[in-house]
Structure 1
């Protein structure tokens, strides 16, 4: 029996831990060693960087109205702590605000990844202050990112939401979809969250049929990408068209259609799992 393809190494994309391994080591907040280090500042969906060189500022930078710092780990060997600013807060001239998006040309893979990871962690911190079982206040569990309810003792851990994303192909064409809120003219792959009790392959088949009315087969795993906006994991696949005419699920999509490989629309940004799949598997 032929063995399946091995996946010993993560996909080389932002947000996966491999993108950070040169500079960053994640640790729990109770490991904060004290002393000076770097400060990661978030203002809404923007990362604040030094205006002169586009790097992370040091702890000593003076910025008014920031939240108490939360220790994340070590960045380039020094402590890294994250704080937030109100969206309306004024910035000192020493800082610039950069949108935390995969396509931003100013952000290196490392800065994009650490900014998004910090945003993911803060989302968890904000939504784990109280127990979802009884409503009691929670306390941090030492040496990890969990929380324990002070009232009922329930343990809570960061929520990760698995999603599937799939390139559907037939000879000379690919099936692409579009949502109304996307940039004009941009199309991407069929994608969606798993349902209760579904395996990944079942989720792929269901999402394609629900959104486009198309039946598929020969589903093959490609790779995955952490997508902390706020807490998804995108599991990528390629599949072959079997039957069915395209029928757009209007509650989810604005459009879905077959595109010739010679006449493709505007595609997803580089550094996303969707573009990774398209660039490598368009032609088979």
Structure 2
């Protein structure tokens, strides 16, 4: 993984990282045994190592699948398909499973990003078998990424959930937060989902006030990152301290505090927009 990124658009899980990839509708699969595989066991991607190079599996899938594969498009001119692996199957020699959530995964940024796309698409398919309006079965919409109810005709398309994440600053300090489930001593930024009727900037102000008791001003958009765990779009902001004393929302956080920019705690991995914002605005 790179040690730094020129902009949020270049962060992992964004299309900019992939290169020669053309999306295709799932019913456009040309068939055959050629092509690349994005084979997932949970959030772990199946990879192979050959002559010191880490590559995606190619040709016939080397492990049994739990469900039919899903065609995603073409990578370097060859078909690219995603599938979920049989959890009980053994990994064959020469292959290994690598977590998409690792701080330093053994894969390049394009493979990581493609694995994230596969995870997001498979999550959507797994949760779109039935119509949310009437409960009857769905069927694919020809030539599109969509599902349509066989009974009432209601159309369902991939659900992407917008979230905000913000670095709050005052002279020489930044506001960082911690959840109990995170690794020891790791802190990150205030983040949360939008509510009905909110714009992104309003969500920033509300989330910071709710979680930490701090009021903010001068809210500015920085950039965004696709976050396929399972299907968020993280919109990143920077804001200035406007007032208030820290009061931790204990239902959400274990801790929140001001840190000197010269004495920061353990931070999120550099592949995240949280870390991008911290690195960019603590200089």
**Shorter-chain TM-score tier:** over 0.9
Q: Which residue of 2 aligns with 1:233?
A: 233
Q: Which residue of 2 aligns with 1:4?
A: none
Per-residue displacement from partner, 1:144-182 (whole Å, max 9, x unpaired)? 111110000001111010000000000000000000011
Where 2:55 maps in the other structure, the secondary structure is coil
Q: Which residue of 2 aligns with 1:28?
A: 25
Distance in 1 (alpha carbons) for counterparts of 2:224 and 2:102: 15
Unaligned 5+ runs, structure 2: 1-6
Report matched runs for 1:140-219 at 5 Å. 140-219=140-219
Unaligned 5+ runs, structure 1: 1-8
Q: Which residue of 2 aligns with 1:267?
A: 267
Q: Which residue of 2 aligns with 1:5?
A: none
Where 1:207 maps in the other structure, the secondary structure is helix
TM-score by length of 1: 0.93
Distance in 1 (alpha carbons) for counterparts of 2:256 and 2:194: 21
Q: Select between 268-277 and 22-31 the one with higher mean Cα deviation.
A: 22-31
Conserved 8 A contact 1:44-1:86:
no
Distance in 2 (alpha carbons) for counterparts of 1:211 and 1:243: 14
After TM superposition, the runs of 4+ consecutive aligned structure 1 residues lying more than 4 A away are none
Q: Which residue of 1 aligns with 2:74?
A: 74
TM-score by length of 2: 0.93
Q: Select between 117-126 and 33-42 the one with higher mean Cα deviation.
A: 33-42
Where 1:87 maps in the other structure, the secondary structure is coil
Conserved 8 A contact 1:51-1:93:
no
Distance in 2 (alpha carbons) for counterparts of 1:61 and 1:71: 13
Per-residue displacement from partner, 1:115-157 (whole Å, max 9, x unpaired)? 0100000000011110000011111011111111000000111
Q: Which residue of 1 aligns with 2:278?
A: 278
Distance in 2 (alpha carbons) for counterparts of 1:62 and 1:189: 40
Post-superposition offset of 1:251:
0.2
Distance in 2 (alpha carbons) for counterparts of 1:133 and 1:205: 34
Distance in 2 (alpha carbons) for counterparts of 1:262 and 1:182: 22
Distance in 2 (alpha carbons) for counterparts of 1:241 and 1:23: 43
Q: Which residue of 1 aligns with 2:47?
A: 49
Conserved 8 A contact 2:175-2:189:
yes
Conserved 8 A contact 2:8-2:273:
no
Post-superposition offset of 1:88:
2.7
Distance in 2 (alpha carbons) for counterparts of 1:121 and 1:219: 32
Post-superposition offset of 1:78:
0.1
Per-residue displacement from partner, 1:17-56 (whole Å, max 9, x unpaired)? 1112x13111111111223111221111100001333201
Q: Select between 54-63 and 189-198 the one with higher mean Cα deviation.
A: 54-63
Count of residue pairs the alignment pairs up: 274
Post-superposition offset of 1:103:
2.0
Distance in 2 (alpha carbons) for counterparts of 1:169 and 1:255: 17
Distance in 2 (alpha carbons) for counterparts of 1:63 and 1:102: 23
